[in-house]
Amino acid sequence: MISSDVIRGYTDTIILSLLRNEPGYGYEISRQISEITEQKYVMRETTLYSSFNRLESNGYLRSFYGTETNGKRRTYYEITPAGRAYLEEKLTEWELTKEIIEKIIR
Applying CB under 8 A, which residues contact other proteins?
25-28, 30-31, 42, 44-50, 52-54, 74-75
Give helix 26-36 / helix 11-18 axis angle, nearest 10°: 100
User: Cβ of residue 17: shortest distance to other proteins, in angstroms?
Assistant: 19
User: Cβ of residue 72: shortest distance to other proteins, in angstroms?
Assistant: 8
Q: Helix H segments across 24-80?
A: 26-36, 45-57
Q: What angle do CA 63, 82, 74 make, to 5 degrees?
A: 10
User: Cβ of residue 85: shortest distance to other proteins, in angstroms?
Assistant: 22
Measured from the CB atom, the residue of 56 and 94 that comes closer to other proteins is: 56
Measured from the CB atom, the residue of 50 and 92 that comes closer to other proteins is: 50
User: Cβ of residue 92: shortest distance to other proteins, in angstroms?
Assistant: 26
Other residues' Cβ atoms within 10 Å of the Cβ of residue 69: 5
Measured from the CB atom, the residue of 67 and 104 that comes closer to other proteins is: 67
Contacts of 24 (CB under 8 A, 6+ apart): 18, 32, 76, 77
Measured from the CB atom, the residue of 13 and 30 that comes closer to other proteins is: 30
